[in-house]
Amino acid sequence: MASDNPRFTILIPVVKTRYFQEAIESALAQNFQDYEIVVVDNKADGDLSTWAEKPRVRLFHNETQLAPAPNWNKGIEHSRGDYIVLLCDDDILAPECLAELDAFLKGRGEGLDVVRFLRKEFGREKLAIAYSCPGKELETVDEYVYFQFRFFRGQALSDFAFSRKSALEIGGFPSMPGCLASDKSFVIRLASRQNKIGNLNLPLLNYRWHGMNYTNVRRPGLYEDSLDSDFFLYNLVNQLLEKSSGDCRGLALAENRRHWQVRQNSHFNDALRSFGWRGLIRIWRHAPDSPASKTKSFWLAVANKARRFLKRKK
């Protein structure tokens, strides 16, 4: 049984129950003793009550279904661990995840607000399709931003352990439009408190790619939401980097601007592909005038459509 003040909380917010059993069984199978499992039933599409009988598990029910970020924050409030691993309801933790995190924190990162670990990405057949990229054991925020954006190391919600106390002090996850980029904003804000983030370079998470991923579902307003989220992230990162003094600060600022242009290009292109000329005009009107060129994004999307058209003609 977990103590009233465990070392770790594995927090599992649940909306979809299709893969939930695999997720919670991986949490129960940890070869580490001092932890609890907090399950937040966000009006899930199945019954979770039987899991409340399992050791370590504390089950909470939301009266109404919350948006992702407020739901994650509700889970943080219910948690009692010094550090929280937020496990999505369709991902799987390696059995040694908490033991390796504990060893890393005691050996090199005690007191860190946030630690990133690696993930193996897999598809429907549970075959590995990608791995996330390692980083320096301890990185400053400017280094983290530079390598994240320059080399697209990637980031998923379940990739991190973070301090519960510090998460509460910064107000938890920001409520982004569509909740896109909320996790990136949260991690960078946490890392900025001490100007460092730990990288535990072991694949401790199995991340599931499938059509039910929140950001994979096409819906009206998706690309405007994505654009707004990325613009919020750009401004947040810019403000934090302006206050920093790391060796990579200038490179990170430049990379943040480049990354914003690339993301805007992508949203324009996807809006045209998914919703046609109306989608492109709508996102054109919605996009800010700067710092990325929306004229460039517009014509790149048109050029890509023309290339696809000519390719089909051949």
Say which amino acid occupies 145. V
* Chain Cα centroid distance, residue 254: 23
Closest to 256 (Cα-Cα) out of 231, 223, 277, 234: 234
Is the separation of the CB atoms in 122 and 46 below 8 Å? no
Handedness of CA 215, 167, 133, 124 (dihedral sign): negative
Residue with the bigger pLDDT between 138 and 152: it is 138
Report how far residue 238's alpha carbon sits from residue 257's, in angstroms, rounded to the nearest whole number.
9
CA dihedral 208, 210, 216, 217 (to 10 degrees): -130
Is the separation of the CB atoms in 197 and 114 below 8 Å? yes
Residue 132, pLDDT score: 87
Residue 243, pLDDT score: 87
Report how far residue 164's alpha carbon sits from residue 186's, in angstroms, rounded to the nearest whole number.
12
pTM comes to: 0.90
Residue range 289-299: average pLDDT? 93
Handedness of CA 273, 276, 221, 16 (dihedral sign): negative
Encode pLDDT of 36-58 as tens digits. Answer: 999 999 999 999 999 998 999 99
Burial of 129 (0-12, 13-18, 19+ CB in 10 A): exposed
Residue 26, pLDDT score: 97
Look at residue 30 and tell me whether its pLDDT is greater than 50.
yes
Window from 59-68, 111-120, 146-155, 209-218 with minimum mean pLDDT? 209-218
Burial of 39 (0-12, 13-18, 19+ CB in 10 A): buried
Is the separation of the CB atoms in 66 and 54 below 8 Å? no
Residue 217, pLDDT score: 46
Residue range 130-152: average pLDDT? 90
Name the 3-class secondary structure at 198: strand
Is the separation of the CB atoms in 182 and 174 below 8 Å? yes
Residue 127, pLDDT score: 66
Encode pLDDT of 250-266 as tens digits. Answer: 999 999 999 999 999 99
Encode pLDDT of 212-227 as tens digits. Answer: 544 444 555 678 888 9
